[in-house]
Structure 1
Amino acid sequence: MAKTRIKAPGGARSRTAGDVLGALVAGLLLAALLAGIPYGLVEFVGWPLPGEVPSLDALGEMLQNSVSVNVFMDVLAVLVWLLWAQFLVCVAVEVRAVVSGVDIHLPAAGASQALARKLVTMLLLVGAGTLTATQVASAASLPQHTPVPLPAQVTASAQAVPGAAVQAAVSEAAPAAAGPLYTVQADGSGHHETLWDIAQRHLGDGRRFGEIFDLNKGRLQPDGTTMTEPGLLRAGWQLVLPADAKDVPGAAASTAPAAPAAAATAGGERTVTVAEGDTLSAIAEHELGSADAFPQLLEATRNVEQPGGRHLTDPDKLFPGDKIVIPARAQAPAQPSPAPDTAVPSQPNQPAETATPAAPEAAAPVPPAPVSPAPASPQATTPAPTTPAPTEAPASPAPAPAPAQQSQAPATAPATDAPAQESDSSLVSIQQVAGAGALLGAGWLGVLAWRRREQQNARRPGETIALPETTSQAEQVLDRTSSPASVELLDLSLRTLSARNPDALPVVHGAKVAADRVEILVDDPDAEALSPFTDRPGGWWGVRADRADLMTAEEAQDVPAPYPGLSTIGAAADGTHILANLPQAGVLLLDGTEEQVREVARGIAMEAGTAAWGGHVEVRTCGFGLELQQLLPACRVMYTPSLKAATADLARVWIEGHQAEHEGGEQPLPWMVISSAKASAEDLYEFADLVGKARGHRVAAVLPAAGAIDFFPDAQVLDASLTEPQLLEPLGVEVILQRVTDEAYRQLTSAVALTTEAANAAGGVWAQLPDPDRVSVLTAPVPVAAPSHLSVVKDHQEEPVSNGEGREAQAEASGTGADGPADVATVPADVPAVSPEQAPAPAKARIDVVREPGPEGGQAEATAPELQVLGPLRIAGIGNASVQPKLVLLAAYLMFRNERDLGSIGDAMNPVTPWGPKLVAEEMSRLRSRLGLDANGEPHVRPKPRGVAMYSLSDEITSDWANFVYLAERGIPKGPAGVRDLEAALSLVRGRPFAGIADHSWAAPLGQTMISRIVDTAARVAELRTSDEVLDIDAARAAIGKGLNVEPSAEQLYRAWMRIEHRAGNPAAVREVIARVRKMASDWQFSTLQPETLALIQRLTAARETASGV
């Protein structure tokens, strides 16, 4: 098969007399060869073949006789005719190559084609041009995507922002002597440039074309190809010229200066290309005059597609070749931005939704306001400044006033004359996310949850994890539409099938997944279904969730995934997910524009990188997916810059498979390439050739149909431009393609990228929390062996505080109730216990823990509603009336969010089908009726008159979270004397924040901050209750149980638990806790325990061995 390579057209130059003479000679030689040879053969030799087909007898007689001169001449004439025909084909091919820009190499025609190329080139040097007007226009509109650069191959050339008429600079570095970049031009006169032309015009000597070729050989061009020969150019290529090049239009330096250069455009905006070693702060300082102005660059660049199809969302994730937009008329800030812990006064024209209220982070905490809308960022309630300035706790802290004694600032949103409008920005995002399937959503959100648990484990006491200010619309939609239960059913069904039938696994072409069932299509329609599946018509096997006999998740962990190449292609009209077994299908082609192909291919790649049923599969992406390689924890996805690079990786797989077949050993892992970038014919040829050799090695490819259809004529072709059902032939079902748009991808990857950021530093009183893991000395056990669940004699006999509606606990914690423990948590039930006979006399705490006295006569019971979010959502203080879950969620939104306009409320309450203004008004009316009136006779849910943009709540409504923060921040500075405040704060916690009600993903950032504070408080109580001053082992264990109920994977709490049992002198319990934390890490698939956990285990083990005399 002929190998095709794109050949570049160019522009024109003036012709010399030598050019004309050479063209004339070439024309004469071509005429002689094409016309003279056949004329001479006919005239002087005649037709060499016989007039009729000889008989067998005649052929035998001919072979027995000697070869005559006539026969020899005839044979020679046949050979000359064949050579002439080959040369004629070569000439035709070369003429077509010059006209079309496509160079075709004919097999076994090296000398003939070389001669034909030289003659045709010389002839057309002065003749008619090689580009028609149509080709010129096409060349001018070549796609200008920039290939992903190598670290040392970066230019600082400038380009215009989208919409300007300047082409994107190629992010490839030139040698040290390189000069400006020159873009190969094509005009409408029918001529194209050559390297000789460019050298003649800009270097003064056409013979220097070799220098240009040396500078650009193998250099990636905007269309993804490279220069391999001096004669192969394409309009739109960008060539590095020698440093002494003259009169280069729109030249940009190809070597990176100290700071990126930027060229202004007509609109005032411009971009710079990131050079190796650049940072966003450095670019901001060079371009805007201040390094603190880098957020302006980040915001202006957010929607610009970077090499590989990604977007810049993290200022620290800057790569050479990235394009940074310099905003129009950007000015350097007059002074550096304030430090994070510096209060920034709100500006008069600052919108309400971006204002950050002051946070209660002082040494003497201010009691919680009954209502204060939560800031946009979760850190606003508990900010984490970069340079915390903790206030030293006084030796005798002054009593903090109770919450009811504090004046409260009104939380009513400021009125505005502008009419309330429903936001449509999130509706656009909904449309962009809607194509992502429930299985993909479950996998992606699982990754996000896993990464946030890792963040929680990695932070230090008092810190909070890095979080977005608000949950993205894409994440909210996926949270509502994803189906983790379907993923689990599919995964367990396939692994159960593999475990029970390891030697009889059927060939599977695809699967259909619904909420309550899974079906797979096997190759043999007559085969009997294997357990746990049952027969379905048409070769389908099925399993139902309510009837299946499946392995448990723990049992299935050790069973390899039998069909890791199953990938969601889309959904049927009824919502059933349709999956194809890509290694079985081989090659899947996607027809459509590059953007449409990328959207569909991206969905397949994202699911392959996160699917629970996928096991480990090697996924290679081309044209997109660099972020997937960097962010996904399963390490399945690797970005490759081109199909050629993916082919080289496939060659490795083929070699490994070949060695495994002949030498024994494990077969290579399943391998697939998912590409959205068009490849050259030569690269496609090589890839198709290798795919053919690698059959049987579980290899799959998803490619753009353009060009690839010629090499894979039997492959399934799907139209990526269609949003209607189309036939998926291997399964015989109609499917609506799954897709992930650029905007949805940006939002989803940004959320995961943020999980790689360092934690926010502790601020306020939270900075005073000690870090037990930084102390190398373990607290000695109590003098006598303390039993598990040890009861330490208290200084007073008190009754435990009832949680009930939370009112009694709050009154007692405010200093108005009886002095008593606030322990209502469930102690871990199966901690190894010491028998009663071994229980020694209990130890006694050294000091009394007392509370500040409340107002004389106590505090009257409050009657205002309280929103309780530290556990399943509910509203207390409204009697026995039940409240619909959606109304509780609506009240929570009004309390904790600043964006309380119609559009924001509607989007948050239902991200997929947002509430309209009428429905918002109706539900607000219901909530108003349920909450009733405040002390002044006004509704707790304030009416929203016309012209007022925001809804608001009464100042009297409070929350358990506000009380938790108040109590914890009051107790932390007191040391051991504050343990009762901390225990009272924990008594308000009933479970994981915002539990029990779906569709509250808008609260995810705030919920994570709550988890951090609860875990820190529980760990601090455990630490204090093992100290001599307030020793109470049972209370310490209870605090750990409360914390683990909120965050089961918190290693900080497991470490505290180990210290508790060590302090109690219970080595069996220490071993049990160590086993538990290791199992937890295995269950959550953490690669390893935190270094602090491993170090503590080692110290405890060493201490035990030393104590036992080992």
Structure 2
Amino acid sequence: MAHRSPGPLRGIGVLLRALIGLAVLAALIAGVPYLLLIVGHQPTELSGGLDMLMRPDDDSLFLVVLTCLGWIGWAAFTLSVLVEATAVLRRRSAPRIKGLGGLQSLAGLLISGIVLLAPTAASAATAPAHAATATQTAAGTTPSSTASTSPASPGGETDWPRHTVTSPREELWDLAEEYLGSGPRWKDIAALNPEFPELASGDAKLHPGMVLKLPADARQAEPASSPAPDATRSTTTAPEETPSPETQAHTGEAARSSADESAHAGAPDDSENDAERPPSVTVHDGDSLWSIAGQHGDPAEWPALYKANQDQLTDPDLIYPGQQLDLPQAHTPRKGPADPPDTGKTPPRGERKQDATPPDQDHHEGQDGGQQEAPPATTAPAPSPSHTAEPSPAPSRTRDATPAPSPTAQDTSPDQAEAHQSSEESQQTLAPAAVWAGAGILAAALVSTLATRRVLQQRRRRPGRRIPMPQGSAASTEQSLRAVQHPTGFDLLDTALRTLALRLAAQSRDLPVLTAVVLHETRIELHLAEETAPCAPFTTTADRQDVWTCTASSSGLASPEDLQAADAPYPALVTLGWDPQGRLVLVDLEHVGVLNLAGDEHLARHVLQAIAVELATTSLPGHLEVTALGTTVPGLDAAAPERVARTDDLADATAHLAAHTADQRRALAALGAHSLGDARLRDDAGGSWTSHIILAQALPEDADETAVAALFNALTMRPRTAGAVITAAPAGTPLPADTWTLTCQGPDETIVLPGSGLSVHLQGLSDEHFADAIELLTIAGSDTDVPAPAWTRTADNEDLGGMPAEYAELEQDNLDKEPPNEAATGESPVPAPRETESQEPEPAGLSLADVLAEDDDPDDGRTAKPTPAPDPAGIPRIIAPQPCATPAPAVHATIPAPEPEATTPEPGTATGPAVQLLGPISIEGATGRVDSNRRRTGTELAAFLALNPGVDHHAIDEALWPGQIVNKTMRNSVISRLRSWLSTDDDGKAHFPRVQDTGDHRYRLGPHVTCDWTQFQQHARKGLHNTTEDGDLALCQALALVRGRPFTAIDPQRYAWAEPAIQEMVSAIVDVAYELSTRRREANDVPGALWAARQGLLAAEENELLHRALFLAHHAACDIDALRKAAAHLARVNEQLGGGVDMDAETAELLRNLLPRTVVRAR
């Protein structure tokens, strides 16, 4: 602890300061005017009027002007003294006068020194006793009464109390109030944590996992049983924990250090000698009744301290340095975890801003005008804990309720030490958890896989149900993935390499051997093993023939039609990391052969996990086989079974790889190709060159050297085939001579790639994020569906999951069949499985050609036998209506968008801007002005607020800039531009109110701003539960709002928050379109049925439920030509979906019954 001057010396220093202040103040107030009158030149000395300005100056004018400036300065200082003195006498904060800040500070300093005269003189006699009291307190403090044991040395790195951030909603201000008793002391915490420079701004977001050092005087956190700090606020009037900025100015308060000021006053002396008189304490700079009471027991006992000193205190908010305060005789010791303080006595924490910015911040956008922010409003379905198991070891997600004790007081068991070590190691992941830095291609591959799987889920989903979406940590991870994905560069890489394959094949050249690929923003670089002349679309320089470059604007890139004839020439390209400039670096695993990840075991596992997830999800190769050995990348084989298999037997993996390589070597010999690169460019190569990758985090301990050598020999034999082994083999494992060994040292370390010599930061995937990736893939691949959200339900059918009336009876039957302990109580952890339409499953995998190629029975010249009408439960039954005598003309009806009834206007239809989300995103009707290059972020903010009204600035930051450090200026500029763009209503009220004007200090759009999705929900809810013409009209009104797929034409890296909303919109549109099409067809309104199905297909072109509704409508109109065209269109859509998917069995069977087929007659 820093040395403090004894009490007598401090008293003398305060007295000397007061006397000097009095002398300086008297000199400035009285001495300056005296000097100006005696020495200065007054304006009365001038003569000659304006003529004096026309003749040479004899210095008299200059001296007069100088004297006048002196008078002005004296007057300004005197005014400042009067203002400060008045504030002290009234015990109020002095108003800040613009332009006089420096003079007011000087006046406040001098006046505060004079104020110290009286209390210093009164306390001179008791100063020695106070010094003894302070000494006893320092020696008698016990660890149980503080947040943690006091540090042994001020600079001890490991001796500071610590706090682990567990929620993104935590703020420095809250932590300062919780541990230090004063919100403005957030600066002390920021100063102790220079490794987090963003904390200096005051409003930086705290990311879960951050470990913050706390000042030495941090008190123990309240027990879990006490009310949460933000849950309730005490209403008892109490002093502020520190003086306001204005009070600090006139008292001359200085920032106290966290260690030096933590024990300036001692605990009460309980000895018998002092029993007759309460101990006393001297007030120092920065003290408050709250902090003094906390130093001597419980800060909640400040009222007793105030009551004991009412003879010299009239305002508990105003105390002065040097005052001698008596401590209550019977003080209460500080309460520990088992004895929580009485929250009814806790003083309010002061009016603070949600931004947690310093108190002197400006009152601009993004602030709450000094008002306390209300609890956040519910904006979306609350994330629930994931049920997916995480691989071990997994980082701890449990927040420590109290600061970590000092090493001397900590009782650490081996298990606890290991868990703590695992947690620290997880924070050293090579890919930062908060932003997935450098994971652009991995993110793009994973997001693309999720998109394809969710399209297929939408095809399988039952009407009135929803596809499952991730919650909690997995949902946050997906949002981070969408924010950092690099789809543009990924597409350029794929196009350039396929074009290269076409050009090389045309010139009868081999594929060059790649040692690395560097992905720039608008170009890619191929680093070759040997210098080779370039081939279009790549170019090179004369001095670097081993580096080929292709730009995004290259005219040599092949067209999409030509690329369909080219396979991926390097299917085993995978991202290793990024270079010092942040550019992604990839390597060809087929060229590497054996990749060994040495160094730190945990970091090597993270690198292997990142490679595995990218291999399992990338669309670059088209097809890839991956085998995980033992416990390597647990769960990936179940999450991506189409590519990843698992085996626990090294011999089995070796045999599989040996058979794979032997088969490819025989194929090379039969083809006459001398290398794999030559064979891949042959026209008859087909799919013979599938790459096979083995992932072996650790080779089995019982495996002998012969078995390990057999694995590597199967891969390295010449000629090389399409395969690779990635392992983290321990030291001493016999590896091939040409093995690439990369040493994993840390997230800030770089390694040098063999061959290219590039410096690379290795990309890794922490255990937590790997578990999230597995959960995302598993949920997106699920065949189940879940109940619809609450907005689809009415009071009569809330227990039916939002099902339309037609489905209510069937859904109730399904619920009755489920076990009562799960379905009936709603406690099932797994969504209900999809019900089948019949007892015998229909054969799947039929194409349009299969359907059209089938012939009728020769004995029956008519169409298929009629079957029952469509089942209202969802998937239509097979229908074959009576054949048409003559083909009817094609029906191409378009129903105009219906208008709401004039007598019953819908809510929110007043004139104002409209946020359009059901199609290309736009804001219509905004009368303000905004630069065209500023619209993108403003539009996203408007869309976010339209779907999430009543959010705070943290939610906005996380949505628009996920994982980034956002300052007030960045956020406020976007908010201000959007407010100007939306303009005001007829009454002059802003369509985007200021946060101070919203009542609850939350961000939301004005009542006259409409959103097509909100209107859609209103119409859909009304129509789905009303089967009359009014209900059909409401469904028409809802579908008339659909202009395309929701959130069309957005930047892939923007709107990362919108995926759950997009899936909900697609599901709702499909349900409404199918319901209305079915109703109109059954009412013999064929044009209406066609229009409804087509409107739904605008949002979900791949949805076969709507295609079946369209087929039935065309058949009802006897328009066979249109039916054939619609069937052919669906076939094309299926071919382009995820590399090609099969038509559903229901759709194939329906077409088989609807389409007339050629009858083969016997001759």
TM class, shorter-length: 0.5 to 0.7
| 1:856-895 superposed matches below 5 A | 862-879=910-927, 881-882=929-930, 884-895=935-946
Secondary structure in 2 aligned to 1:621? strand
Secondary structure in 1 aligned to 2:524? strand
Structure 1 match to 2:1016? 964
Displacement after TM superposition at 1:908 (Å): 1.1
Question: 1:304-331, CA deviations, whole angstroms, 9 ceiling, x for partnerless residues?
Answer: xxxxxxxxxxxxxxxxxxxxxxxxxxxx
Secondary structure in 1 aligned to 2:1081? coil
Structure 1 match to 2:484? 481
| 1:745-894 superposed matches below 5 A | 745-757=770-782, 758-761=784-787, 763-764=801-802, 766=804, 768=806, 770-771=872-873, 773-780=875-882, 785-790=887-892, 800-801=896-897, 812=899, 814-816=900-902, 854=904, 862-879=910-927, 881-882=929-930, 884-894=935-945
Indicate how the Cα distance of structure 1 residues 449 and 608 shifts in structure 2: closer, same or farther if over 3 A, else same.
same
AA aligned to 1:592 is G
AA aligned to 2:478 is E
Whether the 8 Å contact between 2:1086 and 2:1113 is mirrored in structure 1 is no
Displacement after TM superposition at 1:667 (Å): 5.9
Displacement after TM superposition at 1:1005 (Å): 0.7
Question: 1:176-200, CA deviations, whole angstroms, 9 ceiling, x for partnerless residues?
Answer: xxxxxxxxxxxxxxxxxxxxxxxxx
Displacement after TM superposition at 1:490 (Å): 1.7
Whether the 8 Å contact between 1:534 and 1:543 is mirrored in structure 2 is yes
Structure 2 match to 1:994? 1047
Quote the Cα distance in structure 2 between the aligned partners of 1:712 and 1:535: 33
| 1:401-480 superposed matches below 5 A | 431-469=433-471, 472-480=475-483
Displacement after TM superposition at 1:594 (Å): 2.3
Structure 2 match to 1:551? 558
- 1:492 aligned to 485, 492, 495, which one? 495
Displacement after TM superposition at 1:625 (Å): 2.6
Indicate how the Cα distance of structure 1 residues 519 and 906 shifts in structure 2: closer, same or farther if over 3 A, else same.
same
TM-score normalised to the size of structure 1? Answer: 0.52
After TM superposition, the structure 1 stretch with the greater mean CA deviation from structure 2, 861-870 or 640-649, is 640-649
Secondary structure in 2 aligned to 1:600? helix
Displacement after TM superposition at 1:760 (Å): 1.8
- 1:540 aligned to 524, 528, 547, which one? 547
Structure 1 match to 2:125? none
Displacement after TM superposition at 1:452 (Å): 0.4
Displacement after TM superposition at 1:991 (Å): 2.2
Structure 2 match to 1:318? none
Whether the 8 Å contact between 2:500 and 2:536 is mirrored in structure 1 is yes
Secondary structure in 1 aligned to 2:483? helix
Quote the Cα distance in structure 2 between the aligned partners of 1:574 and 1:1042: 47
Say yes or no: does 1:672 pair with 2:693. yes
Structure 1 match to 2:712? 691
- 1:630 aligned to 629, 638, 641, which one? 638
Secondary structure in 1 aligned to 2:595? strand
Quote the Cα distance in structure 2 between the aligned partners of 1:379 and 1:473: 10
Structure 2 match to 1:77? none
Secondary structure in 2 aligned to 1:773? coil
AA aligned to 1:491 is D
Quote the Cα distance in structure 2 between the aligned partners of 1:1055 and 1:714: 57
Structure 2 match to 1:843? none
Residue segments in structure 1 that go unaligned for 5+ positions in a row? 1-371, 381-424, 793-798, 802-808, 817-852
Quote the Cα distance in structure 2 between the aligned partners of 1:948 and 1:379: 24
Structure 2 match to 1:1099? 1153
Say yes or no: does 1:906 pair with 2:957. yes
Displacement after TM superposition at 1:463 (Å): 1.8
AA aligned to 1:815 is E
TM-score normalised to the size of structure 2? Answer: 0.50
Indicate how the Cα distance of structure 1 residues 554 and 619 shifts in structure 2: closer, same or farther if over 3 A, else same.
farther
- 1:650 aligned to 644, 657, 663, which one? 657
Residue segments in structure 2 that go unaligned for 5+ positions in a row? 1-375, 385-425, 672-684, 789-800, 808-871
| 1:905-924 superposed matches below 5 A | 905-924=956-975
Question: 1:160-212, CA deviations, whole angstroms, 9 ceiling, x for partnerless residues?
Answer: xxxxxxxxxxxxxxxxxxxxxxxxxxxxxxxxxxxxxxxxxxxxxxxxxxxxx
Indicate how the Cα distance of structure 1 residues 535 and 774 shifts in structure 2: closer, same or farther if over 3 A, else same.
same
| 1:86-485 superposed matches below 5 A | 375-377=379-381, 431-469=433-471, 472-485=475-488
Question: 1:386-424, CA deviations, whole angstroms, 9 ceiling, x for partnerless residues?
Answer: xxxxxxxxxxxxxxxxxxxxxxxxxxxxxxxxxxxxxxx
Question: 1:29-56, CA deviations, whole angstroms, 9 ceiling, x for partnerless residues?
Answer: xxxxxxxxxxxxxxxxxxxxxxxxxxxx
Secondary structure in 1 aligned to 2:760? strand
AA aligned to 1:1006 is A
Displacement after TM superposition at 1:728 (Å): 0.5
Whether the 8 Å contact between 1:462 and 1:767 is mirrored in structure 2 is no
Say yes or no: does 1:599 pair with 2:606. yes
Indicate how the Cα distance of structure 1 residues 895 and 944 shifts in structure 2: closer, same or farther if over 3 A, else same.
same
- 1:1009 aligned to 1057, 1064, 1069, which one? 1064
AA aligned to 1:711 is L
AA aligned to 2:911 is T
Displacement after TM superposition at 1:962 (Å): 1.6
Indicate how the Cα distance of structure 1 residues 476 and 574 shifts in structure 2: closer, same or farther if over 3 A, else same.
same
Say yes or no: does 1:1030 pair with 2:1090. no
Quote the Cα distance in structure 1 between the aligned partners of 2:1020 and 2:707: 66
Quote the Cα distance in structure 2 between the aligned partners of 1:968 and 1:560: 46
Whether the 8 Å contact between 1:568 and 1:579 is mirrored in structure 2 is yes
Indicate how the Cα distance of structure 1 residues 971 and 659 shifts in structure 2: closer, same or farther if over 3 A, else same.
same
Quote the Cα distance in structure 1 between the aligned partners of 2:876 and 2:907: 42
- 2:627 aligned to 599, 603, 620, which one? 620
Structure 2 match to 1:845? none
Quote the Cα distance in structure 1 between the aligned partners of 2:1159 and 2:1124: 16
AA aligned to 1:486 is G
Indicate how the Cα distance of structure 1 residues 563 and 888 shifts in structure 2: closer, same or farther if over 3 A, else same.
closer
AA aligned to 1:520 is L
- 1:1087 aligned to 1119, 1141, 1147, which one? 1141
After TM superposition, the structure 1 stretch with the greater mean CA deviation from structure 2, 715-724 or 427-436, is 427-436
- 2:1073 aligned to 1007, 1018, 1027, which one? 1018
Whether the 8 Å contact between 1:445 and 1:478 is mirrored in structure 2 is yes
AA aligned to 1:764 is G
AA aligned to 1:703 is T
Quote the Cα distance in structure 1 between the aligned partners of 2:757 and 2:602: 27
Indicate how the Cα distance of structure 1 residues 765 and 658 shifts in structure 2: closer, same or farther if over 3 A, else same.
closer
Whether the 8 Å contact between 2:1042 and 2:1098 is mirrored in structure 1 is no
Quote the Cα distance in structure 2 between the aligned partners of 1:675 and 1:683: 15
Quote the Cα distance in structure 2 between the aligned partners of 1:676 and 1:972: 54
Whether the 8 Å contact between 1:490 and 1:518 is mirrored in structure 2 is yes
Displacement after TM superposition at 1:1002 (Å): 1.0
Quote the Cα distance in structure 1 between the aligned partners of 2:428 and 2:946: 24
Percent identity of equivalent pairs: 28
Structure 2 match to 1:1055? 1108
Quote the Cα distance in structure 1 between the aligned partners of 2:1113 and 2:1160: 17
Displacement after TM superposition at 1:791 (Å): 5.6
Quote the Cα distance in structure 2 between the aligned partners of 1:604 and 1:791: 52
Structure 2 match to 1:819? none
Structure 2 match to 1:715? 739
Kindly indicate whether structure 1 or structure 2 has the higher relative contact order, using CA contacts under 8 Å at least 6 residues apart: 1
AA aligned to 2:944 is Y
Backbone CA RMSD of aligned residues = 4.0
Indicate how the Cα distance of structure 1 residues 943 and 693 shifts in structure 2: closer, same or farther if over 3 A, else same.
closer
Question: 1:138-161, CA deviations, whole angstroms, 9 ceiling, x for partnerless residues?
Answer: xxxxxxxxxxxxxxxxxxxxxxxx
Quote the Cα distance in structure 1 between the aligned partners of 2:737 and 2:1000: 63
Indicate how the Cα distance of structure 1 residues 983 and 1066 shifts in structure 2: closer, same or farther if over 3 A, else same.
same
Structure 2 match to 1:529? 534
Whether the 8 Å contact between 2:598 and 2:742 is mirrored in structure 1 is yes
Displacement after TM superposition at 1:458 (Å): 0.3
Indicate how the Cα distance of structure 1 residues 716 and 658 shifts in structure 2: closer, same or farther if over 3 A, else same.
closer
Displacement after TM superposition at 1:874 (Å): 3.0
Structure 2 match to 1:219? none
Secondary structure in 1 aligned to 2:465? coil
Whether the 8 Å contact between 1:1018 and 1:1040 is mirrored in structure 2 is yes
Question: 1:52-102, CA deviations, whole angstroms, 9 ceiling, x for partnerless residues?
Answer: xxxxxxxxxxxxxxxxxxxxxxxxxxxxxxxxxxxxxxxxxxxxxxxxxxx
Whether the 8 Å contact between 1:656 and 1:667 is mirrored in structure 2 is no
- 1:897 aligned to 948, 962, 976, which one? 948
| 1:930-941 superposed matches below 5 A | 930-931=981-982, 939-941=990-992
Displacement after TM superposition at 1:910 (Å): 0.8
Whether the 8 Å contact between 1:863 and 1:878 is mirrored in structure 2 is no
Whether the 8 Å contact between 2:377 and 2:951 is mirrored in structure 1 is no
